Copies of this chain bind each other. A is one copy, B any other.
């Protein structure tokens, strides 16, 4: 990695503490990712992205900022990137996925909270995440109590804008969210100094749709009987989608997809035949949280799809591209984003439909319901999901776990038992 110390220093980072983080990540990544066999060539780009995670992209952001562009950090799939891009801004996803940041988060937040929020806040207040340091403004939302109240604390450190997401999906809620997007647009215009025009928004709606289509293409390859890519590689790609340059990302993923589609024709699989195919559903997995995927794929399973923010929630459903005026475009954005079946909505039966549909589309053998601790919305929703899946005869278990590796052995044991049960069911079915 090139020497970025000067750059980091200019971002007012805690260099000493940041060094500690930089020391652990390469080995952590190496153990989880580089040990995989038959990885697609196209993953080299993502190895590079990770090796440069606090370097090259930060340098790019820095250069953009020198040219007067603004960077908006966000934490949620409900923040419309289209609007940021249309004002010539740059959006980067900032959710904290590392245990490293949790203790700093706990300095200002209760311990009884999900590690994602603690890590996100800890990353900012410790000054050890260059993405936070590169943001001109953070964009929060009211998707859960923890985040909603954490923004009030983050606000002491950096300018914040919070979007109020409705809690239901009635017609009036969609109108309300359209209004929130409008308010957000005005804020983005104020910060960037650039107007969002119907023309520019039309273009960025297309661009972000293309990113979604590219990810859909990637995920489609995981529906094949022979899996051309591991679940953890696919997860990594989705995680990178949140902060990489959009056009480059689309190109690189499409290149990879060419390779994967070839693999499907040639019946190349990264898993041995009969490996239980798992649909993972639940809370987001922010980079570098690869824990569940790694545990599943080293316990005899393969993740074929993520019904999660770092998964289908991020790219399914496109924004209608056929609108010529801002008002209709904002409404179309609201329609698309309010189509996401997040557990923050009540009721949220659409998520159950999604899970069953994805289970079938991806030929899954079982569902793992993964939840970060203290995530009330996803934890409570488990009951309804479980009841519905059991009615369909779909095997499901819930695993609640944070970022630490203390419970890895215990989760392994549970996973092995789950996969054994799935394999027995399969044998009985033959």
A residues sitting closer than 8 Å to B (CB atoms) are 108-110, 112-113, 142, 144-146, 148-153, 162, 164, 166-168, 172-173, 176, 179, 343-344, 346-348, 373-374, 376-377, 379-384
Given A164-B167, A173-B164, also A374-B112 (CB < 8 A): yes
CA distance A113 to B377 in the complex (A): 11
In the bound complex, residues from chain B placing their C-beta under 8 Å from that of A381 are: 149, 152
Q: Give the distance in Å from the alpha carbon of A142 to the alpha carbon of B145 in the complex.
A: 11
B343 and A383 contacting across the interface, CB-CB below 8 Å:
no
Shortest Cβ gap from A106 to chain B (Å): 11
Contact, CB under 8 Å: B152 / A377 = no
How far, in Å, is A399 (CB) from chain B's closest CB? 13
Number of copies: 2
> A344 vs B377: C-alpha distance in the bound complex, in angstroms?
15
Are the C-beta atoms of A164 and B153 separated by less than 8 Å?
no
> How many whole Å from A64's CB to the nearest CB in chain B?
30
User: What chain B residues lie within 8 Å of A113 (beta carbons)?
Assistant: 376, 379-380
Q: Is the CB of A346 within 8 A of B152?
A: yes
Q: Indicate if the CB atoms of A344 and B145 lie closer than 8 Å.
A: yes
Taking CB atoms, residues of chain B closer than 8 Å to A153 are: 380, 383-384
**Can you name the residue of chain B whose Cβ is closest to the Cβ of A387?**
B156
Known: A166-B164, A168-B164, A383-B153. A373 touches B144 (CB 8 A): no
Q: Are B112 and A150 in contact (CB under 8 A)?
A: no
- Tell whether, in the assembled complex, residue A346 and residue B377 are in contact, meaning their CB atoms are under 8 Å apart: no
Given A112-B374, A145-B145, A166-B164, A152 and B347 contact (CB-CB distance below 8 Å): yes
Residue among A151, A162, A379 having the largest count of chain B Cβ atoms under 10 Å: A379
Are B380 and A346 in contact, with the CB atoms below 8 A?
Answer: no
Residue contact A148 to B162, C-beta cutoff 8 Å: no
Do residues A376 and B172 form an inter-chain contact, with CB atoms below 8 A? Answer: no
With contact pairs A152-B346, A346-B152 given, residues A373 and B164 touching in the complex (Cβ less than 8 Å): no
| Known contacts A148-B346, A374-B374, A384-B152; is-contact A379 B164 (Cβ 8 Å) | no
In the complex, which residue of chain B has the Cβ closest to the Cβ of A344? Answer: B145
Judge whether B166 and A108 touch: CB under 8 Å: no
Q: A152-B384, A167-B164, A176-B176 are in contact. Are A112 and B346 (CB under 8 A)?
A: no
Bound-state CA distance A336–B179 (Å) is 24
Residues of B within 8 A of A146 (CB): 376, 380
Cα–Cα distance between A166 and B109 once the two chains are bound (Å): 24
